[in-house]
Amino acid sequence: MFLAANPGLVIILGIIILIIVIIFASSFKIVPQANAYVVERLGAYHTTWGTGIHFLTPIFYRISKKVSLKEQVMDFDPQPVITKDNVTMQIDTVVFFTITDPKAYTYGVDNPIYAIEKLTATTLRNIIGEIELDATLTSRDLINARMRETLDIATDPWGIKVNRVELKNILPPKDIRDAMEKQMRAERERREAILRAEGEKRSSILQAEGIKQSSILQAEAKRQALIEEAEGIKAAAILKAQGEAQAILELQEAKAKGIELIKKAGADNAVLTIKSLEALAEVSKGQATKIIVPSNLQGIAGLATSLAEIVKEK
């Protein structure tokens, strides 16, 4: 009856109840994966919530900071540094880090990202100041390792783990860059000249080897031709000698057969004497200056006269 008589009070009570429901519902908090919430009670650290659903008592408790536990990347602007040999250059760095302790990250340092940036700049100046320009350009891995180690030790009280530090760009002064470019161009030209000389040397060696091989092959061919020619001459000489030997053999066989026929025909000493005269006539046709006359020349002459007479009578 009282509420019905006071509609305004009903509206106020409804609003209060709605506010209470909203506050109660909003007191449930869900922490996403790879995140952490730092909770304070009456302004003091109370606990750190991990992944899941949590209930936050209003008024007395509040979430102080939401922290991402993922690996984070900070790309800092180029910083002027001076090398050991007094060369000023610009170097920009990239820092990869992970928050390992949300409480220390929240209460350890004010503005941790700004602190990391300044710490990176000072560490880089200290390291570069100990080495010369050439070493700076060729020792990035060493510089990265030293910076990571130094930063990791310095940021450990802040709940930060420095995973990697990379030198993104190293920009020497323009005159240094021009000199380096000229040096690199000269080095490339030197290497090109060396490669060209090596190529020409190799070509000359191959050409000489080709000429040598060709000469060897030509000499071998000539030697083989001479061998074949000698073999031919030898074979021809053998054949000629064999032919002459065969002819002599056949001649001697013919003479032997003639003598045998003469014997079979009953030839006497007169026939033999005539054959001797014929042989003597053949000898007289030669180039000899002396002729040996047989001792029985008279008997042979008489025999010749007798034969001439017998021929006339016939």
Per-residue pLDDT of the chain (314 residues; tens, 9 = 90+): 555 556 677 688 788 888 887 877 778 889 999 999 999 999 899 999 999 999 888 888 999 999 999 999 999 888 889 888 888 889 989 999 999 999 999 998 888 999 999 999 999 999 999 988 888 888 888 999 999 999 999 999 999 999 999 998 888 878 777 777 787 888 888 888 898 888 888 888 988 888 888 889 888 888 888 888 888 888 888 888 888 888 888 877 777 776 677 667 655 555 556 655 565 555 555 554 554 545 554 554 454 444 444 444 44
| Cα 13–chain centre separation | 87
Burial class (CB in 10 A: 0-12, 13-18, 19+), 155: buried
pLDDT at 157: 92
Residues, the chain: 314
Burial class (CB in 10 A: 0-12, 13-18, 19+), 207: exposed
CA–CA distance, 189 with 183 (Å, rounded to integer): 10
- Per the rule left: phi > 0, alpha: psi between -120 and 50, beta: everything else, 266 is left
The CA-based angle 254-257-261, given to 5 degrees, is: 135
pLDDT at 277: 57
pLDDT at 45: 92
DSSP assignment of 281-307:
HHHHTSS-S--PPPTTHHHHHHHHHHH
Considering the entire predicted model, what is its pTM? Answer: 0.55
Phi and psi, residue 91, nearest 5°: -130, 130
pLDDT at 22: 82
Give the tokens for residue 252.
Answer: 């001697």
